[in-house]
Amino acid sequence: MKTMSNSPLICYTRISPNSSPRYEQITKITPHYMAGNCSIETCGEIFAPTSRQASSNYGIGSDGRIAMYCPENRRSWCSSSNWNDQKAVTIEVANVTADGYITEAAWNALVDLCVDICQRNGIPSLVWTGDKYGSLTCHYMFADTSCPGQYLKGRMGLLADVVNARLNPVEEPEPIIWRPGMQPDFGVNGSDVFRLYNPFTGDHIWTTSTNERDGLKKMGWDNEGTAWQNLYPMPVYRIFNPFTGEHLFTTSLNECNTLRDNGWQYEGVVDLGAREPNDCPVYRLYDGTFHMFTTSDNERNALIANGWTDEGIAWYQLAA
Ligand SMILES: [Zn+2]
C-alpha cells in the first residue's frame, strides 16, 4: 500500500485515542458536520476521551482553521461504517445553523483540504453519485442521521466540481478576436443551446454539449429545453464562482480576467453567441447572486418586474 502522509494545511493537532489501523488505500472523502459551531480545539476535546468512541481524521472550524485528530494511516470512527472509513478521509466541519450552513471560510478550507487529500493520495477527481459508491460520501448513507445537514448535502456536487476544477485546471484564456464578415470557425453551425437549472444552488447553465446536458440531468439538474440556436457560432468565455456555484458567460476578456482575480475559475470557451449583426439580442440580467441570459422579451420583462437588474445585451443570437 502507498505510504500515507498527512495534510500540511493543519494548524492544530490533538490525536484522539479512538481509531483503528487502516488496511485500505484512501479512495474517498467523507465530509461531516459537527452538529454545532465548535472550534477545532473544542472538537479535539470532544474526541479525546476513550468513552466517546468517536473521531475524525480532520476538523474545520468556522474560522477556516484545520485540525488533525487521526493521522491518515488510521481509520477514524466517524461514519458508522468500517467499509467507508477504511477507504475514506473523514472531515468534521463546524456548522452555523441547524440545517448545516457553514461559513465561506470553512467552505474554502474544505475545498483546499479535499484538493490536498486528492493530490497526496492519487485520487484523480472527486465523483458525487449521491450514493456510497462515489468517491464523495456522507454519513447519512450509512446510518440514520441528518449529517452533514441539508445545506452541505446540497453542495456535494458543487464540492466535487470545485475540487475537480482545481485538480485539472483549464489553460489561460486567449483573447477572442473576430471581425464582421469573418467565416464562422468555432463550434457547430445550427446546434441547439440547451438551458439547465440546478435546484440546489439556483444556478442556470447554457451549453451546446449533449454530453454535458445529459451528465447534468443525471446529477439532478432540470432540463429547461432549447434556449436558442447558434447558426454562426461566436465564442463566449465561461467562468465559475466556487462559492455561489454560478456559471457566468461573457464575451469580455476584461470581465473574465477581473473575476478570475477575485477567485472565479476559468472553464474555457463555449460557442453560445452568434456573429451575424442582425440577430436578436441575448439580454443579461442579475438578481444580486445569479445572472440570467434570455432572448425572450417576455421573460426579460417578467424578471425586471421581479426586481432583477437589466444588464443590457450580452451578445447577439438567433432565437430558437
Ligand atoms: Zn457525521
pLDDT per residue as tens digits for the range 34-93: 999 999 999 999 999 999 999 999 999 999 999 999 999 999 999 999 999 999 999 999
CA 295 / ligand 1 centre spacing (Å): 45
- Average of per-residue pLDDT values in the chain: 87
pLDDT at site 180:
42
pTM equals 0.73
Q: What is the pLDDT of residues 239-268, one digit of tens each?
A: 899 888 898 888 778 888 889 888 898 888
Confidence of residue 189 (pLDDT cuts 50, 70, 90): low
CA 178 / ligand 1 centre spacing (Å): 53
| More confident call, 316 vs 131 | 131
CA 206 / ligand 1 centre spacing (Å): 35
CA 198 / ligand 1 centre spacing (Å): 25
CA 244 / ligand 1 centre spacing (Å): 24
CA 148 / ligand 1 centre spacing (Å): 6
Percent of the chain with pLDDT over 70: 88
CA 147 / ligand 1 centre spacing (Å): 5
pLDDT at site 66:
98
Fold of 12-167: Lysozyme-like (3.40.80)
CA 32 / ligand 1 centre spacing (Å): 4
CA 102 / ligand 1 centre spacing (Å): 14
Structural domain boundaries in the chain: 12-167, 191-319
Least confident stretch, 120-124, 141-145, 211-215, 228-232:
228-232
Full 3-state SS string of the chain: CCCCCCCCCCCEECCCCCEEECCCCCCEEEEEECCCCCCHHHHHHHCCCHHHCCCCCEEECCCCCEEECCCCCEEECCCCCHHHHCCEEEEEECCCCCCCCCCHHHHHHHHHHHHHHHHHHCCCCCCCCCCCCCCECCHHHCCCCCCCHHHHHHCHHHHHHHHHHHHCCCCCCCCCCCCCCCCCCCCCCCEEEEEEECCCCCCEEEECCHHHHHHHHHCCCEEEEEEEEECCEEEEEEEECCCCCCEEEECCHHHHHHHHHCCCEEEEEEEEEECCCCCEEEEEEECCCCEEEECCHHHHHHHHHCCCEEEEEEEEEEEC
